[in-house]
Structure 1
Amino acid sequence: MSDKWIETFRTFGTILVELVVLFLVVAFLVALLQRRVGDERLQRWMAGGTLLAPIKGIVLGALTPFCSCSTLPMLMGMIKVGAPFTGAAAFLLASPLLDPIILGVVWILFGWQLMLGYGLITFVAIILVSLLWGKLGLERYVRRVKVQAEHDGSPWQGLRRESRPAWNQAKSFFKPLVIPLLLGVSVGAFIYGAVPESFLVSVAGPGNWLAVPTAALIGIPLYIRTESILPIGLALSSAGMALGPVFALVIGGAGASLPELSMLSAIFKPRLVAAFVLSVLVVAVTGGIIIPML
């Protein structure tokens, strides 16, 4: 077996273990948070006017810097308590794209001007997309996933007594996502291990007017953590890829991935999954076109 395939299988195993552990930990903490805060209080906090709900979703996403896959337990929790759909949509898009780690890495690699441009463009695009989702009534395409109740409405019983039901809810969140996660990570890791940087530069290099949308499309199946894809993007830029396609690749890879899409299919119906992919592509292409102009 070649070193290339060994690296692919190693990548698959590492990503799978990381995502399973991260998902369960995040789901457990979300269950405890919901139990401590209360469903009604969380629902009231997320509520707001036309703009306030998605802005709150973006703020919550920025304060909870998860990768695209580990946003799902929080998203499922929001849906469960009846939070505004536009706020939940904004959180889903903002958490992997606007967390402080990403903004800091963009600043270090590309300068504060591009960091501000990236943050502003992504912020505005997420608000517009979430409002559009609400206007189109896409909430009706959310599946009603059965989740084991983590409490019976009684007051907070303390961390020790609340931990077991919170863990049960975390497992309940995870069960319908096991097979989609396995399929998505398998394909994503294979593409990550099989696609060379030279290919990315060749299809998204300077002089290709389709470079930005092509890079955005490539970024979605190319599952890599955003903190890793940014240095890779810098390497691609040094190898000859234009700055616009680099950012389109980063946004596409961070905003969506095959593992996430597979897992989303367990809670979103196909039309909403398609709307999510299209939205990420639009944000990625828009950012890839505008950011180099700054």
Structure 2
Amino acid sequence: MPARDLRAPAFDPVLLWLLALPVWVLLYASLVPMADAVFSALPLTRGTRLGEAVWFFLYDTPKVLLLLTGVVFAMGIVRSFFSAERTRAVLAGRREGLGNVLAATLGIVTPFCSCSAVPLFIGFVSAGVPLGVTFSFLISAPMVNEVALGLLLAMFGWKVAALYLVLGLSVAIGAGWVLGRMRLERWVEDWVLAQRAVAAPTGDAPLTWTDRIRLGREAVVEIVAKVWPWIVVGIAVGAGIHGYMPEEFLASFMGRDAWWSVPLAVLLGIPMYSNAAGVIPVVEALLGKGAALGTVLAFMMSVVALSLPEMLILRRVLKPRLIATFVAVVAAGILLVGFVFNLVLRT
């Protein structure tokens, strides 16, 4: 009679990770009360600049890390069904234009700020999705989402909301397509390219779900371990900027009806950090002080799509040349939006 293998796992890995899913969902749904609970133990008050900065950090850090873990784990399982070569064959070349459209459209229904969108960006890149397509999502997700569109509709009417939707999607699709045509994969960090090169194991025996979950877990260990310090630093910088956004200073520049107000607004927006919903009250305040709508919307797009914290996080994934190219291409599209708004809606 064969001896019993006492080293066998006590729990089925598939069952264990299925049980982990509702825990992840519960944690994600509890981010606000958990941040409130930790914040209440501190000698700070919501509504103050320091208080808002600290609360933002307490909320956004676990949110982005949870997103990163969940997305990387899911993409690790997806990659077990499709090798990197097969993924590129499906999405590259003639399909890339359609991929840009689909990725930008997906961004509309994912109401993430720029830092929250980075985990999905990393997952797409490591799974072999073309770089230009991933950039279309990275631009669209924070810049054009239902929260921003709903607030613009309520505050400025359907014409402004529709024009913002069309031009925002145009920037995301166009910039992603241009970046894809430039073939900049050589400026992606080597460890990310190594992830893309890993194909699903082949052989006569099909992979079991235990194998697939193991691959997902290994992807989490490999990627999250490399990226999380950059995420914490990026969000810390963003939280400080979020709490101390100088509205009066911004209005003093954007209230001037001059051609240089749009590029200046874009430059001023890049060091800032907020999500679309968070920056719209600032947009309303700036407009109340006489700033031009196109200039203010260009500032808004710059804040949510080209934030400094986002660039800090992306630095762990992309080389400086690619980050600079990304910023330049997207900034050009945002400038176009600002000028078009000021031209079409000039009163």
| Contact 2:187-2:319 at 8 Å conserved across structures | yes
CA distance in 1, matches of 2:89, 2:50: 45
1:136-285 residue pairs with structure 2 within 5 A?
A: 136-145=182-191, 154-157=207-210, 162=213, 166=216, 169-170=219-220, 172-285=222-335
CA distance in 2, matches of 1:208, 1:214: 10
Classify 1:18/1:200 alpha carbon distance in 2 versus 1 (closer, same or farther; 3 Å).
same
Q: Deviations over 1:261-289 (max 9, x none)?
A: 00101100001111122223222221111
Structure 1 portions without partners, runs of 5+: none
| Contact 1:36-1:156 at 8 Å conserved across structures | no
CA distance in 2, matches of 1:195, 1:62: 26
| Contact 1:105-1:230 at 8 Å conserved across structures | yes
| Contact 1:30-1:77 at 8 Å conserved across structures | yes
Equivalent residue number for residue 39 of structure 1: 82
CA distance in 2, matches of 1:242, 1:80: 41
CA distance in 2, matches of 1:210, 1:72: 31
- CA shift, 1:219, in A, is 1.4
Equivalent residue number for residue 340 of structure 2: 290
Aligned counterpart for 1:17 among listed residues 58, 70, 80: 58
Equivalent residue number for residue 75 of structure 1: 121
Equivalent residue number for residue 25 of structure 2: none
Q: Deviations over 1:123-162 (max 9, x none)?
A: 2222221222122222211113366x9x96823349xx94
Q: SS where residue 190 of structure 2 aligns?
A: coil
Over the aligned positions, Cα root-mean-square deviation in angstroms equals: 3.0
- CA shift, 1:233, in A, is 0.3
Q: Deviations over 1:136-193 (max 9, x none)?
A: 222211113366x9x96823349xx94x864664454333334433443344333444
Q: Deviations over 1:201-236 (max 9, x none)?
A: 101113333211111111121111211101220121
Q: SS where residue 61 of structure 2 aligns?
A: helix
CA distance in 1, matches of 2:236, 2:179: 30
The alignment of Structure 1 onto Structure 2 pairs a total of residues equal to 288
| Contact 1:28-1:167 at 8 Å conserved across structures | no
Equivalent residue number for residue 56 of structure 1: 102
Classify 1:56/1:195 alpha carbon distance in 2 versus 1 (closer, same or farther; 3 Å).
closer
CA distance in 1, matches of 2:307, 2:153: 24
Equivalent residue number for residue 69 of structure 2: 28
CA distance in 1, matches of 2:137, 2:245: 30
| Contact 2:69-2:220 at 8 Å conserved across structures | yes
Give the letter aligned to residue 82 of structure 2.
D
Equivalent residue number for residue 119 of structure 1: 165
CA distance in 2, matches of 1:63, 1:46: 21
Classify 1:144/1:18 alpha carbon distance in 2 versus 1 (closer, same or farther; 3 Å).
farther
| Contact 1:204-1:210 at 8 Å conserved across structures | no
- CA shift, 1:50, in A, is 4.2
Give the letter aligned to residue 190 of structure 2.
R
CA distance in 1, matches of 2:72, 2:87: 12
